[in-house]
Amino acid sequence: MIRLAESLELPLRERNELLLAAGFAPPYRETALGDPAMAHVRAALEHVLAGHLPYPAIIVDRYGDLVAANEAFGLITEGAAADLTGPGSNVYRLALHPDGIAPRVLNMAAWGRHIVERLRQASARSADDRLAVLQAELLSYLRAHDPAEDPLEEHLGFAVPLRLRSSRGELQLMTTVTTFATAVDVTLAELKLEAFLPADSRTGEILTRPVGAAG
């Protein structure tokens, strides 16, 4: 059964469910991130986030709920409603909600479709009602934006950028997603590190410039 689950590339949570359905005890534990046994994991996550400075970086769970973020992420969230930011808030909702960062996104149609498609793929891999409900919610926000705002399907040839107004100037960012591929704990296996990297030299200069320095 384990070999079958590995061949199907099932996430650890689904492997546990498969083995339970077959009458076996689930082999993969699920430890809360706040558990003392996960102290070394939390330290490693903080180290990775700090290592991405001065670029924004976050860690989210399987639903896109924020687990942790570095200081630079504040440049992304500035102006957003308090209930859409902070630990436990959903970063997908933050991205598309009218009280989130949506009013500052200059290519909302393209960026929004990118977000929804990512969630659709995750939902297709796992029959999870919560993912389906979240996807429907995000689609409702996206429909509120006129596609004419983005006459061209903006991309870099290899990624959909995020074009964002900020207090330090317009940013053009691309994102990378890292997972913990060798994890054998369900909680850790479902975490994702998302880093926002400069997609042009101007954004790189803005992000590396000390806060308050003349532009």
Residue 9 pLDDT grade (very low, low, confident, very high; cuts 50, 70, 90): confident
Residue 188 has a pLDDT of: 92
**Residues, the chain, total?**
215
Are 153 and 168 within 8 A, CB to CB? no
Residue 197: beta bridge partners?
174
Residue 54 pLDDT grade (very low, low, confident, very high; cuts 50, 70, 90): very high
Alpha-carbon gap, residue 207 to 213, rounded angstroms: 11
pLDDT above 90: percentage of residues in the chain:
53
Q: In the chain, which residues fall in CATH 3.30.450.20? A: 31-208
Return the closest-CA partner of residue 67 out of 90, 37, 50, 83.
90
Residue 152 pLDDT grade (very low, low, confident, very high; cuts 50, 70, 90): very low
For helices 108-125 and 129-143, what crossing angle results, to 10°? Answer: 160
Segment among 15-19, 51-55, 147-151 with least mean pLDDT: 147-151
Residue 153 has a pLDDT of: 52
Residue 151 pLDDT grade (very low, low, confident, very high; cuts 50, 70, 90): very low
Residue 195: beta bridge partners?
57, 176
Residue 46 has a pLDDT of: 94
pLDDT in tens, 55-110: 999 999 989 999 999 999 999 999 999 999 988 999 999 999 999 999 999 999 88
Alpha-carbon gap, residue 132 to 128, rounded angstroms: 7
Residue 143 has a pLDDT of: 74
Residues 6+ apart with CB under 8 A from 155: 110, 161
Global confidence as pTM = 0.83
Residue 157 has a pLDDT of: 46
Residue 215 has a pLDDT of: 52
Are 108 and 165 within 8 A, CB to CB? no
Residue 210 pLDDT grade (very low, low, confident, very high; cuts 50, 70, 90): confident
CATH superfamily of 31-208: PAS domain (3.30.450.20)
Side chain identity, residue 171? L
Half-sphere exposure of 111 (CA within 13 A, CB side): 25
pLDDT in tens, 13-30: 888 888 899 999 988 888
Residue 193 has a pLDDT of: 94
